[in-house]
Structure 1
Amino acid sequence: MIIDCDVHHTRKHVRELLPYLPEPWKTEIAKYGERKMNAGILQQEGGMRWDTQPPDGSPPGSDPAHMREQLLDRYNIAYALLSGSGHHITAIPDPDYATALVSAWNDHTIAHWLPQDRRFKMSLWVAHQDPAAAAREIDRLGGHPDVLAVWFSSTTRIPFGHRWFDPIYEAAQRHNLPIGIHPGQGGAMLAQPAPTAAGMARSYLEWHVGVSQLYMAQTANLILEGVFERFPQLRFFLVEGGIAWLPHLMWRMDAHFKGLRQQAPWLKRLPSEYVADHIRLTTQPMEEPRQARHLLQIFEMLDAERLLMYASDYPHWDFDAPTALPSGLSAHARERILYDNAADFFGLPARLRAPDREGRV
């Protein structure tokens, strides 16, 4: 049994959103389609697996039956967390439009996806350009039994530790929903003017390689700005950002905090201790060192048996099957990463274990 923490679903056509949109956005999208955020970066090569297009020619990730056959059944997925494909939305400067669009996305997922298979669960999209509106969206749908998380795109001008986002965090904590952060669209740069520490990336390749920088900065900001002291039950999981950067960041935060703790007086523990209690990573895409033993060392350094959760990134080009986990992992670690860690994190049923010789499970 496996829990997949990042499955990108979409619509066959933008017209499917129209019944869930208020005016004037309904008329606008019917006439012009969705607003796009491009910055001269070729992104098509960062597209979908060639074999994920459904037989009827609709977009990859738009057909529940095809996804069921190609992902859920093939890999024994017990739960698939639907994460959408609108990561450009939080780069759009118009907060009213973005809020209306994510609400339509959420309603479409509830109506068109959740009834198709009990294994489908959903992330609740919010537009964090307007934290008050985002909190209302969490209150509107956060009690739905198949909503497992709130979903953020990384496209933002304001780092996530800033108190600007506190209304969202209050609502997420109130509903006991962790927040997933996913990389924003590579070309969606208006709300994220410097997607790398060096500035604007020239290509999708460069942007994709540098995604870990975003997660390092956001993780440090969340912890050092005291988010988890203000919201002690709040949790985050970081999707598609790699994993090898986390040990380095924890060591560096702890060492610097010991000398500069007066600059973060609200922290009551070492920064790395907040990571252990409040932050999880997903597997895809894992680093690929030349020697497999080095990846196992990274797993040990970041305590992967507790902090790592499986994600496939279906149907994208860099999809990882469950077999992508390093072969040298123990059976216990593999089970925790593929199922148990996510079950604990999202409050899903525990994995059914085979009885031992005495009939105990």
Structure 2
Amino acid sequence: MTQAQTEVEHRVPSTERVAVRVVDSDVHPMPRQGRLTDLIPEPHRSKYFLSHHVGDTIVYDAPDYAHSYAMRIDSFPTDGEFAGSDPDLAFRQLIIGAGSDIAILEPGLRMARLPEITQAAASATNTWLAQDWLDGHNNWHERWRGSISAAAEDPDGAVREIEKWAGHPYMAQILIRAEPRPAWGDPMYDKVWAAAVRHNLPVACHLSRGNYETLPMPPVGYPSYNHDFMVTYSLLAANQVMSMIFDGVFDRFPTLRIVLVEHAFSWILPLMWRMDAIYAARKPWLEIKRKPSEYVKDHIKFTTQPLDYPEDKTELTRALEWMEADKILLFSSDYPHWTFDDPRWLVKHLPESAREAIMFGNGIKTYGLPDTVPVLPGQVKVF
């Protein structure tokens, strides 16, 4: 039995601490089968979740999807549960084996057609995450940080969830979805931004898959397959960035922090150029107070996964330097998905001058994390 396994069984953190060198901003825990049902508040549990069958909404053509559902095969626990459902297995693979020091947990939350239904699912998800991952038994090592799931399309309900969980010592951010309409610059969301600012929590947005007309739709209509659907999420994020900037969200909430998770990031460079050009040409007609690129660098972060990796590595290096990646990027692994980026691999593709900021510095600052954690015998060190 390894030292790491002994520590897991005894649940005893070390009194010695070590500097945080990797903050993983995108890790996906999963509830065990049937775990959320009893946590969903009534009447939504009986009227919707126990009687409403939800099927797939779009073809998902990830490699080997039929066998492993786009997950790492080794991330499925031996008890037959789904990948990411076992905190101890995730701890051994991600923290001990891959070297992440702190991991931001971002549970999946499918957007329902009715806002109150999505909010009910969010409520259950928050309770499950607190009880099954962030409790003293499963977070004895102090490496997990949670997300407060909220349905922004129901602002009052979202604020109730934020107020309920904001004081939890291991809840590090608020988690919403990008699909709801109208765009985030609309004042209807101001209650959500105000709650985030009040509790000094960043608001993260993770790509998701809604139902029916809640799917993000490009101007030419719904995509046919997963590959073009995934690309549209960058377009969706770009629209939300423009909406927040040009509609004055960051002027109304000057300390608001936004994290765009798994929406890629290379597109932000030409978008900043374009927005700044429009700003220069139409400044007399605009009410925002600064260049759009300045709002991006001060208020918005992007995760590294998925990494757009050109054949010529020097092209990536130049793009990272031009966009000042040391100011806007957060490392993410996307564990336990098949697209998992090992931090030991990712760090090699970053400009040396930006490595510390991207791998842990920006994460510590964005999420308000400690800069040390208890020592774990046998943990891999990334750099």
TM-score by structure 2 length?
0.85
Q: Which residue of 2 aligns with 1:159?
A: 183
Q: Distance in 2 between matches of 1:136 and 1:98?
A: 14
Cα distance in 1 between the residues matched to 2:275 and 2:55: 34
Q: 1:155 to 1:334 in 2, by over 3 A?
A: same
CA distance, structure 1, for counterparts of residue 363 and residue 147 of structure 2: 14
Residue in 1 that maps onto 2:234: 212
Return the match for 2:266 from 238, 244, 258: 244
- Percent identity, aligned pairs only, is 34
Give me the whole-angstrom Cα distance separating, in 2, the residues matched to 1:40 and 1:337. 33
SS at match of 1:61: coil
Query: Which residue in 1 is equivalent to 2:166?
Result: 142
Q: Tell me, in whole angstroms, the C-alpha distance in 1 between the residues paired with 2:345 and 2:245.
A: 30
Whether the 8 Å contact between 2:276 and 2:291 is mirrored in structure 1 is yes
Instruction: Confirm whether residue 105 of structure 1 aligns to residue 129 of structure 2.
Output: no
Displacement after TM superposition at 1:43 (Å): 5.6
- Which amino acid in 2 is paired with 1:241? H
Query: Counterpart in 2 of 1:359?
Result: none
**Could you tell me which residue of structure 2 aligns to residue 79 of structure 1?**
102
2:42 maps to a residue whose letter is E
> CA, structure 1 residues 43+85, in 2 after alignment: closer, same or farther (shift >3 Å)?
farther
Question: Deviation string for 1:55-108 (max 9, x for gaps)?
Answer: 11200011101101111111222211110022x22xx12222221110110011
Structure 1: distance between partners of 2:203 and 2:220: 27
Secondary structure of 1:77's partner?
Answer: coil
- Report the Cα offset of residue 327 of structure 1: 3.0
Q: Does 1:322 align with 2:322?
A: no
**AA paired with 2:357?**
R
Q: Does 1:257 align with 2:279?
A: yes
Tell me the TM-score normalised to structure 1 length.
0.90
Matched ranges for 1:5-44 at <5 A: 5-13=25-33, 15-28=34-47, 31-32=50-51, 36=54, 38-42=56-60
Match of 1:179 among 203, 207, 213: 203
The answer on whether the counterparts of 1:155 and 1:188 sit within 8 Å (CA) in structure 2 is no
CA contact (8 A) 1:238 1:282 kept: yes
- CA-based RMSD of the aligned residues comes to 2.0
Cα displacement (A) at 1:209: 2.5
- Residues 290 and 153 from structure 1, CA distance in 2 versus in 1: closer, same or farther, beyond 3 angstroms? same
What residue identity is the alignment partner of 1:99?
Q
Aligned length: 344
Structure 2 CA distance, aligned partners of 1:240 and 1:3?
15
Three-state SS of the structure 1 residue aligned to 2:309 is coil
Moved more, 15-24 or 1-10: 15-24
Residue aligning to 1:123: 147
Match of 1:290 in 2: 311
Q: CA deviation at 1:169?
A: 0.6
Write out per-residue CA displacement over residues 177-214 of structure 1, whole angstroms, 9 at most, x where no aligned residue.
111111121x63422351x3432100011111232111
Corresponding residue to 1:339 among 360, 365, 371:
360
Alpha-carbon offset, residue 330 of structure 1: 4.6
Measure, in 2, the Cα distance between the counterparts of 1:158 and 1:340.
Answer: 34
Measured in 2, the distance between the counterparts of 1:243 and 1:75 equals 23
Structure number with higher relative contact order (C-alpha < 8 Å, ≥ 6 residues apart):
2
Distance 1:40 1:318 in 2: 19
The equivalent of 1:304 in structure 2 is 325
Runs (5+) with no aligned partner, structure 2: 1-20, 374-383
Deviations 1:203-231 (A, max 9, x none): 01111123211111111111111000011
Distance 1:40 1:294, change over 3 A: closer
| Matched AA of 1:320 | D
Distance 1:328 1:60, change over 3 A: closer
Contact 2:25 2:303 in 1 (8 A): yes
Q: Deviations over 1:18-74 (max 9, x none)?
A: 342222233356744x75364343467362122211111200011101101111111
Code of the residue aligned with 2:57 in structure 1: it is A
Assess, with a 3 A threshold, how the Cα gap between structure 1 residues 326 and 294 changes in structure 2: closer, same or farther: farther
Q: In structure 2, do the counterparts of structure 1 residues 256 and 210 end up closer, same or farther at CA, with 3 Å as the change threshold?
A: same
SS in 1 for 2:264: coil
2:125 aligned partner, one-letter code: W
Quickly say closer, same or farther: Cα 1:314–1:257, change in 2 above 3 A: same
Alpha-carbon spacing, 1:40–1:241, altered in 2? closer, same or farther (3 Å): closer
Paired residues of 2:58 and 2:226 also in contact (CA < 8 A):
no
Three-state SS of the structure 2 residue aligned to 1:23 is coil
- From 116, 120, 124, the equivalent of 1:96 is 116
* AA at the equivalent of 1:3: V
